[in-house]
Amino acid sequence: MRTSWRILALWSVLILVLLLVEVAQLTHLFTLPIASAIGDPLAFVFALVFTTILALVGAIFIGIYISARLLRAPGFTPFEEEMLKMRRDVRDLKQAVDELRDATPAAPADPPPRARGGGPG
């Protein structure tokens, strides 16, 4: 199965955003001084819980994606197999009809029926 360009674009944007957040963390753009984190335990707990929730949601989505890719059958679905059998049957029937048509002699065409009534005849 080919991956859609939209999915690739979405993942590329997501990775780019995460890289920008990482650079912002390394440059201390988003970080609070350690004194304010210790001074406000509620903010620290909130940040910790928020980060944990995001990590769990990401892990669940990645797990769903990987398991779906591993469990997906590489062949056709039963519906697709049935459609392929029906296509093969139609092709065989068409071939049999063509053979019958070629085997029977062409009958002469019937003359058009004559009109009853007022015409010369």
Residue 51 structural domain: 34-72
Q: For residue 111, is it within any domain?
A: no
Please indicate, yes or no, whether residues 41 and 68 belong to a single structural domain of this protein. Answer: yes
If one counts the domains in the chain, the total is: 3
d(CA 90, CA 82): 12
Please indicate, yes or no, whether residues 38 and 52 belong to a single structural domain of this protein. Answer: yes
Please indicate, yes or no, whether residues 64 and 40 belong to a single structural domain of this protein. Answer: yes
Q: For residue 65, is it within any domain?
A: yes
Does the pLDDT of residue 88 top 60, yes or no? yes
What's the pTM?
0.35
> Tell me, what's the pLDDT at 117?
62
d(CA 63, CA 59): 6
